[in-house]
Chain A
Amino acid sequence: MSGISRRRFLAGSIAGCAATTLCGTQKALAAGSFTGYPEGMGVLVDLTRCIGCRSCEAACNKEQKLPAPAKPFDDMSVFDERFHGGTQMRRPDENAYTVVNRYQPEGGGKPIYRKVQCNHCNEPACLTSCFVNAYTKTQEGAVVYNPKICVGCRNCMIACPFNIPGYSYSSAFNPVVKKCIFCHETRLKTGRPPACVEICPQQALTFGKRKDMIKIAHQRILNEPGRYVDHLYGEKELGGTGWMYLSSVAFDQVGFDTTTGNEPIIANVKDFLGTVPMVLAIWPALFTGFHLLAKRKDGHGHDDDHAGDHSAAHGEEEDKS
């Protein structure tokens, strides 16, 4: 009898320990920072190889069935377009999920072209800011978006540190967020590279597992140290991104924000998120306590009200009653 119960006790203990360990492991994973799915895919963009042919823009337009552009894709005058008082170059929007911009590096030299699209962050700001959870970081590494539940608050556009998501403002009844989805539905799911990568004639874009892309990038820097700046943009920035860049000039000269830091955006918000349960837990007792203290004082009469000028008001109130 006692043996059985002991055995049961032991079995129970082991099961309990196992459960605790498992839960503990999961918890530790959830609480730490997420550095991307191990098998997640990425793209290495080598700015030194890009010639600004815009064929990636054309391929994207076709793949994603976007409207025809105002200027054809072989019209290179778009590189001279400037907006908002001549300060801004082209950016992705509802009609173009990717754009190529041309930069003239300081001290002359050949122009440098930079392709802009969603960088598919490991810990995306858009995803963490969305109050209906419309965004998903898929196992394949894409950040995709569910237009069926989007309310249209555009918080994701506020949060995106790369200013990527566009909004179809012109639609009155079904406006949605529009951005590069890594060709997730049509290609990435089945392991195929996105349309822009496939079409690139210069192999400026390399598709593969993110961890392999990091290795290739550092190998290229090692092999040709004179060709590259010793930095892989996106390896660590903002918690790491799926799309990463190599450049021959300082990144801030070709339109990259080099002040982002390596913490994901959500790290800035955690301070506040941590106070929420504390306020929820502490305030009820605190303020009900204040109320009880104040009432107790009332019970002893209004005379001990230390603001002397208010006693008149109290008297008046009592008279009325």
Chain B
Amino acid sequence: MKSMIRQGIQPVASHHNGEGKSRKSWSLLEKLLLGLSPRQYLEQAIKNPFNWILGVLFAVGLPLIAYRFLFGLSVVTHSSNDYPWGLFLGFGLFAMVPLSASGFMLGTTVEIFGRHDFEPIERLALLNGLLGYLFAVIYLLVDLGQPWRLPYPMVVAFGPAAVLFLVAWHVATYLSVQVAEVSVAFFEWIGWLGGKRFVRRIAVGLTVAGIILSTLHQGALGALFTYAPGKVHPLWYSASFQWIHFFCSAIPGGLCMVIAVSTIVKKTMAWRCDGNFLDNLDRCTFGLAKGASMGLITYLAIKLIGVAHDNEWGYLGTGWGAWFMLELAIGVILPLALFAWAIHNQRVGVVRLAAFITVFGVVLNRINTALIAFNWKLYPEIPHPFEVIICLTIFAIYVVVYRFILYRLPILFAWKAVPVEAYETEPVTVQSAPALKSSVPAPGAVYRSID
């Protein structure tokens, strides 16, 4: 794409091609192809070496996924009755969901606390949340014995006392909330402003719903393990605090995932970002890092309280204790120190490094809880190679979908549209009267609708 831009091609960022009178509307196909001809589009796709890596992975992984659905879980996993939840859930569900806490975190920051200075990165955080949840559900579908029965807890049979019932309902509702939140960008892209205005009007409601649902299901994922007190190693288990451990670690997890993704975006698709995003990114990164640091130090404190509450100090001297402390040292204390130093010295590169480490730390914690420290009295389970490949393949699909959306929808850039009368009235009148500012329904609307 970079070389195409060098040749003078501008990627689509508005409804219209060209300037002034000669302009004509982009067709949907042209929007999809970013304003390139099909031939140009294919050319730039083939040139990208990353696509080749993806191609190889898909060539192996997609048939394996088909294989799993045609012949059952037993052909791609160890069919363990002792480890009913393997990598699909251990990584796919339990690690993807905390890394997607970004949506509700940034939604809260901007819409609830009115910190519009974080707006340049808000949409990326919302999209990161949506896609993370979506793919957590996709991992779940691969893992479920009878995935076509997924809606059963909603319509056929109810087990309302079960934690998983909460997870199912909350993830389903929250996915809809996130679709609504991200749909603003989609409505801009297809040019349906009515839909966009409606969603902006209910933005505060959506955001509050997002906080409630996130609090509960991030916590519920942890609470799922309180069903297995004898199976999860005591250091990773806490009947009283498991849910809050999971919820609290999701906060730095989600924030750092946004830093990580924005870093990759800046490195690999700077052409798609507008000045507003690029100029504000470093400042936003520091802001997110401060939030993540507070999350991390709180998490460290409550993890230690967890050990103290159940009087598990003795376990720290064992091999499991060493592994537990290593997890905390690498995943929590190291990034905390790096954040502190980097924020103090304004070194954004180190902040980004620390964010990647934090993401790794959260994933490690979830895999530890779900797989490594699970069944600690029995035997260790090493996932089937096919299980690993399918996990990687789904992650690659996630990356492709993520990239597809970032290339097209106005997430990293503002959509440029010609003024339409009916559309201009709402935000502009409000803006021109500063005294009325407090009555702006959702302040973000104003910023985003400067089309």
A interface residues (Cβ-Cβ under 8 A, vs B): 84-85, 87-88, 91, 93, 125, 128-134, 149-155, 157-159, 161, 163, 165-167, 169-176, 257, 259-260, 265-266, 268-269, 271-273, 275-276, 279-280, 283-284, 287-288, 290-291, 294-299, 309-310, 313-314, 317, 320-321
Q: Judging by beta carbons under 8 Å apart, are A93 and B240 in contact?
A: no
Residues from 169 to 219 in B contacting A, C-beta threshold 8 Å: 204, 207-208, 211-212, 215-216, 219
Select from chain B the residue with minimum beta-carbon distance to A285: B208
Q: Judging by beta carbons under 8 Å apart, are B82 and A271 in contact?
A: no
- How many Å lie between the Cα of A237 and that of B47 in the bound state? 65
Q: Judging by beta carbons under 8 Å apart, are A157 and B81 in contact?
A: yes
Do A283 and B212 form a contact, CB below 8 Å, given A167-B81, A290-B113? yes
Do A152 and B144 form a contact, CB below 8 Å, given A272-B243, A284-B208? yes
Q: Judging by beta carbons under 8 Å apart, are A84 and B379 in contact?
A: yes
Q: Judging by beta carbons under 8 Å apart, are B162 and A128 in contact?
A: yes
Select from chain A the residue with minimum beta-carbon distance to B158: A133
Do A295 and B438 form a contact, CB below 8 Å, given A130-B159, A134-B157, A158-B84? yes
Q: Judging by beta carbons under 8 Å apart, are A151 and B117 in contact?
A: no
One digit per residue, 1 when the CB lies within 8 angstroms of any chain A CB and 0 when it does not, for chain B 369-385 equals 00000000111000000
B346 nearest CB across to chain A (Å): 11
Select from chain B the residue with minimum beta-carbon distance to A280: B212
Do A272 and B81 form a contact, CB below 8 Å, given A128-B162, A313-B117? no
- The secondary structure that dominates the B interface is helix
Q: Judging by beta carbons under 8 Å apart, are A165 and B81 in contact?
A: yes
Do A132 and B158 form a contact, CB below 8 Å, given A158-B227, A272-B219? yes
Residues on A with C-beta less than 8 A from B17 are: none
- How many Å lie between the Cα of A134 and that of B164 in the bound state? 13
- How many Å lie between the Cα of A59 and that of B264 in the bound state? 62
Q: Judging by beta carbons under 8 Å apart, are A299 and B438 in contact?
A: yes
Interface size class of B (residues with CB under 8 A): 35 or more
B168 nearest CB across to chain A (Å): 6
Q: Which one of A174, A268, A310, A320 has the greatest number of beta carbons of chain B within 10 Å?
A: A268
Q: Judging by beta carbons under 8 Å apart, are A314 and B116 in contact?
A: yes
B436 nearest CB across to chain A (Å): 9
Q: Judging by beta carbons under 8 Å apart, are B211 and A287 in contact?
A: yes
Do A321 and B446 form a contact, CB below 8 Å, given A167-B84, A167-B145, A297-B114? yes
Q: Judging by beta carbons under 8 Å apart, are B229 and A265 in contact?
A: yes
Q: Judging by beta carbons under 8 Å apart, are B164 and A131 in contact?
A: yes
Q: Judging by beta carbons under 8 Å apart, are B379 and A129 in contact?
A: no
Do A269 and B223 form a contact, CB below 8 Å, given A171-B72, A290-B113? yes
Q: Judging by beta carbons under 8 Å apart, are B211 and A176 in contact?
A: no
Q: Judging by beta carbons under 8 Å apart, are B215 and A279 in contact?
A: yes
- How many Å lie between the Cα of A59 and that of B236 in the bound state? 42
Q: Judging by beta carbons under 8 Å apart, are A298 and B443 in contact?
A: yes
Q: Judging by beta carbons under 8 Å apart, are A288 and B208 in contact?
A: yes
- How many Å lie between the Cα of A309 and that of B165 in the bound state? 45
Q: Judging by beta carbons under 8 Å apart, are A149 and B149 in contact?
A: yes
Ordered by A's residue number, 19 sampled pairs between the chains whose C-beta atoms are within 8 Å are: A87-B378, A91-B82, A133-B158, A149-B156, A151-B144, A151-B147, A158-B224, A172-B72, A174-B146, A257-B230, A257-B377, A266-B161, A272-B243, A273-B223, A280-B212, A290-B113, A291-B204, A294-B114, A299-B438
- How many Å lie between the Cα of A317 and that of B116 in the bound state? 8
Q: Judging by beta carbons under 8 Å apart, are A313 and B283 in contact?
A: yes
Q: Judging by beta carbons under 8 Å apart, are A283 and B223 in contact?
A: no
Residues on A with C-beta less than 8 A from B117 are: 310, 313-314, 317
Q: Which of A125, A134, A174, A257 contacts B227 (CB 8 A)?
A: A125
